[in-house]
Structure 1
Amino acid sequence: MRRHVIELNVAKSTIEKAVHKDLGLSSNARVPRHLLTESLKAKRLERSSKDMNWLKHNPSTVNIFSDKKLFPVDQVYNRRNDRFLASSTSEVKGVFRTKHPAAIMVLGVVASDGKKMPPYFFKVGEKFGVLRYHILPWLKISYPDGNYVWTQDGAPCHTAKINQKF
């Protein structure tokens, strides 16, 4: 709307009135959306059903969850400044990002009993050894009896045969 004020050389209130009252539109941020295919949805449902069934039959077992988050250093866009005028949020189109922005990856591990491992910050190019040299020692200290189950998502690095075997 700010751009329209400058281009049309009119007051901000004029543009706001035209957009909000006359046209019935609101300013909405463009949000990135995850592309889930039907096959991915089915795989997720199957895996989660197996996990829930197993946990029902093993109530004393602690469930361990982990996830990695990639924090991009150079953002492609600012979603607060890249606005989209629409009648509803369903009309707002998604935003596409660049393929390989600079980023830092952080791993978090939490347990269903409330214990949590300190966040692990990956070094540049690091791929192997995190499970063996960082997570496994924490699990052995936190759960010496081995009464835990490790829950993974379907990320390719988690479903690789070498990782599944480990």
Structure 2
Amino acid sequence: MSERSVRRIMKNDLGLYPYKKVIEPLLSDDQKLKRKQFANWVRTNFRKEDTLKILFSDEKMFDIDGVYNTQNDRVWAVDRADADKNGGTQQKRKFPQKLMVWLGACSKGLTPLVILDEGTVDHTVYIEKVLPVALKYGNQFFGSDWVFQQDGAKPHSHHLSQKWCRDNFPTFIEKDRWPPNSPDLNPLDYSIWDQLVNNINWNKVYSKTTLIKELKLSVKKISESVVFESCACWTNRLYRLYQNDGSYLR
């Protein structure tokens, strides 16, 4: 039987459709339990209006080759050679220039990007360059009544970073509280980073300098409504997580 016949039977006779496999973290039973415990802790200790005073934070790595979707990025042409002449190839460097950036997000807006491109980001760099920015803009957004969030990355969980947070932030989610392997619980990961990436004009990125310029322009294009809705739906996501036995949320 030909491939065309198989596709016709699958689609027309059986009513089936092809779907791409979705990549998501593999969660252990222990990690699922910790996620449920976190959701229950938030539900017990925070009112809805309190969760809107959380400053979420995250780091993300970018390189100058950009981001593209191999499934959706198509070039219409009469043949492969014609496609190649009209942008049908995506070249990637073997060792592209990379940099890491940090961003904070809350119901009232975004912090400025912090560019972390000077080697390894350890707890010393994190304390000197990132945490003061989080403190400044958290206070600017909410005064003295707000909560700082960070994940369990090593620079965050280092005892000196934790001490800095205890000494300076009104409140923060400590290292043993935030559940591991849970990017689906951070508005930056499930919404805002995608918005930033889609705003970048990758045709203008050809060096680390131009990448930094585009990142700074792109973060300013993220609408206030997107940021607010991303944070406002957080408690609903926690409810879904609890009802779903701690499984990963899409």
Task: Identify the TM-score tier after normalising by the shorter chain.
Answer: 0.5 to 0.7
Shift of 1:147: 0.8
> Counterpart of 2:147 in structure 1: which amino acid?
V
2:146 alignment partner in structure 1: 148
> Is the contact between residue 20 and residue 26 of structure 1 (CA under 8 Å) also seen in structure 2?
no
SS at match of 1:118: coil
**Between Structure 1 and Structure 2, whose CA radius of gyration is higher?**
1
CA distance in 2, matches of 1:56, 1:137: 24
**TM-score (norm: length of structure 2):** 0.41
The one of 39, 45, 60 equivalent to 1:48 is 39
Identity across the alignment (%): 24
Q: Distance in 2 between matches of 1:61 and 1:23?
A: 47
Q: CA RMSD in A?
A: 3.6
Rounded to whole Å, the distance in 2 between the matches of 1:40 and 1:162 is: 25
Cα-to-partner distance string for 1:128-165 (whole Å, 9 max, x where unaligned): 1233342222233333x311111233334333322221
Letter of the 1:146 counterpart:
S
TM-score, normalization by structure 1: 0.58
Correspondence for 1:38? 29
The one-letter code sitting in structure 1 at the alignment partner of 2:104 is: V
| Counterpart residue number, 1:70 | 61
Structure 1: 5+ residue runs without aligned partners? 1-13, 82-99
Higher helix content, 1 or 2: 2
Q: Give ranges in structure 2 of 5+ residues lacking alignment.
A: 73-94, 165-250
1:135 counterpart letter in structure 2: A
Cα distance change, pair 154–124 in 1 and its aligned pair in 2 (3 A): same
Q: In the alignment, is the contact (CA less than 8 A) between 1:69 and 1:105 conserved in 2?
A: yes
* Count of paired positions: 131
Q: Where do 1:120-131 residues align within 5 Å?
A: 120-127=114-121, 128=125, 129-131=128-130
Alignment correspondent of 1:134: 133
Whichever structure has more strand as a proportion of its residues is 1
Partner residue in 1 for 2:174 = none
Mapped contact 1:60–1:147 kept (Cα < 8 A)? no
* Distance of 1:68 and 1:137 partners within structure 2: 18
The answer to whether the 8 A contact 2:10-2:17 is kept is: no
